[in-house]
Structure 1
Amino acid sequence: MALSSACSDDDGSSSSTNSPSASVGIGTVDSASVSLGKILVGPGGRTLYMFEADTSGVSTCTGDCAAVWPPLPAVGQTTTGGDAKSELLGTTTRPDGAQQVTYNDHPLYLYQGDQQPGDTRGQGLDQFGAKWYVLNVDGNTITKTATPSGDGGY
Structure 2
Amino acid sequence: MSKPLTFKALAATLLLTAGVGHAAPPAITNGVMAASNGMTLYTFDKDAANSGKSVCNGPCATLWPPALAMPGDQPAGAYSIVTRDDGAKQWAYKGKPLYFYQADQKAGERNGDNFKDVWHVVKD
Runs of 4+ in structure 1 over 6 Å off: none
C-alpha RMSD of matched pairs (Å):
2.5
Structure 1 equivalent of residue 121 of structure 2: 134
Instruction: Count residues with an aligned counterpart.
Output: 106
TM-score normalised by structure 1 residue count? 0.60
**Unpaired stretches in structure 1, ≥5 consecutive residues:** 1-20, 81-85, 138-154
The answer to whether 1:103 aligns with 2:101 is: no
Secondary structure in structure 1 of the residue aligned to 2:25: strand
TM-score of the two chains, using structure 2 as the length reference: 0.73
Larger radius of gyration: 1
Q: Deviations over 1:107-153 (max 9, x none)?
A: 00000010111000000001xxx61001123xxxxxxxxxxxxxxxx
Equivalent residue runs for 1:64-143 within 5 Å: 64-78=59-73, 86-126=76-116, 131-137=118-124
The match for 1:83 is none
Which structure carries more strand by proportion?
1
Aligned-partner Cα distance in 1 for 2:69–2:12 = 19
**Structure 2 portions without partners, runs of 5+:** 1-10, 16-21
Three-state SS of the structure 1 residue aligned to 2:100 is coil
1:133 partner amino acid: H
